[in-house]
Each structure stands twice: as structure tokens, then as C-alpha cells.
Amino acid sequence: MCHFILMLTQSDQTVADALAVYERVRRSSLRYVGFKDIGLHWDELAELGRRIKADGRELMLEVVSTTREAELASIEAAARLNVDHVLGGRHARDATELLRGRPIRYWPFAGRTVDHPTRLEGSTSEIVDDARKLASLPGVHGLDLLAYRFQGDEPALARAVVNAVSVPVIAAGSIHTPERVAAMRQAGVWGFTVGSALFDGLFETDPIRSQVQTILELEGVQP
């Protein structure tokens, strides 16, 4: 089974109407909901996070900052928002130090990530080697893999990373078809994120609630 993580994001930033969008999916069986710390005013982000957690869901913040300073500021924002999981980021040693003693699970990016929207560079072997190193660090709960932001055999990359580490792996970015969901599930990832594809109507025309339900009903997908 493979967990579906709804990201209230488009083009690597939180959508402006995230609060309204979340209201439309509150009655679904979703367990994991996330956003980024850019694209929405802080007060609205805090209220969005509060509502998600009040509904008994686990809250995820994905870090897509391109500098060390901005990334660590995002980590601190995650702590202030009381999130359950931090996804992404590259400065794992610094991040785990900031998160030490907090009940937040940390999933840094595996491999060399660049630019915004973020893409994954390097060979499969380089990414797998980096994944092993990150997975061995104290305070790293799992890995965030931008499998479909990689120029190569994406399912093979995901399988290689999953098989190389003992921590769970989340596939994030550009998962916009049932076929890609199935490929990541078959690769053995713990979960996958979908954000932009929903706002672009790629799983169904509209509304977003129907698209969320479509994904939840795919074979092998669980909340």
C-alpha cells in the first residue's frame, strides 16, 4: 500500500485559496495534507495548519528553498507551525540540529536538487549513494525523492533508492497520472505527493474533491 499526500500547492508554492480548497476536501478520508511556506501570508498558513491538525490529520511542510539560509528559515517556520513532517531541503545536518528534541519527522531531498521549481540532477548511482548517506544520519526519518523531476528511468530510480535504504521514501513532484501513481507504488515508495496536477485538473476536470477521491480509489493507494 502507498499513502497519498495532498499538497495544497502549485508550481512549488502554496495556492492563494488554500483555505477554501481544504474546506472542499475536509470530508474525505485523507490522512496527510501539506503545503509550502511560500505563496500564502503567514497568518493564513498558520490558520490552514491549525485546521488540518484539528481535523486529526498529519501536517507536512515541504521545503523548496534554494539557499542554506532560506532553507533553515523554512525549518524554523515548520517548528512554529507545529507540523508533523518536514519534507525536502538539502542541509540535513543543520536541519536535524534545529529539529532536535521536537516531535517532527524529517525527510530531506535525496540527490542533488537545483532551482525553483526544483529538479533532480545526477546519475542514479549518485542519487542512491546520497540517499544512503542521508538515511544513516540521526534525526532523518525518511527521504523525499523527486523521481519525476529526474532525466532518466524514473521508476527504476525510485526502486533503486527504496532498495538501498532502510527508511521510508516519499515520491514527490510531477505525479500527474494514475500510471505514475502505479509506477511509484510498484517501486515500493511509502507515499507520494500530488499538488499541481490537481489544480491543473489532470486527474479529472473538476472539482478538486472528485480528483482527490479518484486518487484515493486507485489500486493500492491508502489515505
pLDDT digits (tens, 9 = 90+) for 34-69: 999 999 999 999 999 999 999 999 999 999 887 899
What is the structure's pLDDT at 142? 98
pLDDT of 103 higher than 70:
yes
Count of domains in the chain? 1
pLDDT of 149 higher than 90:
yes
pTM: 0.94
What is the structure's pLDDT at 122? 93
| pLDDT band at residue 119 under the 50/70/90 scheme | confident
| pLDDT band at residue 1 under the 50/70/90 scheme | confident
| pLDDT band at residue 205 under the 50/70/90 scheme | low
170: CATH:
3.20.20.70
Task: Give the tens place of pLDDT for each residue, 151-173.
Answer: 999 999 999 999 999 999 999 98
What is the structure's pLDDT at 109? 96
Q: Average pLDDT in the 122-133 region? A: 97
pLDDT of 28 higher than 80:
yes
Q: Average pLDDT in the 110-123 region? A: 89
* More confident call, 208 vs 32: 32
* Rounded (5°) CA angle 163-72-151: 40
pLDDT of 9 higher than 70:
yes
Provide the domain limits for residue 95. 2-222
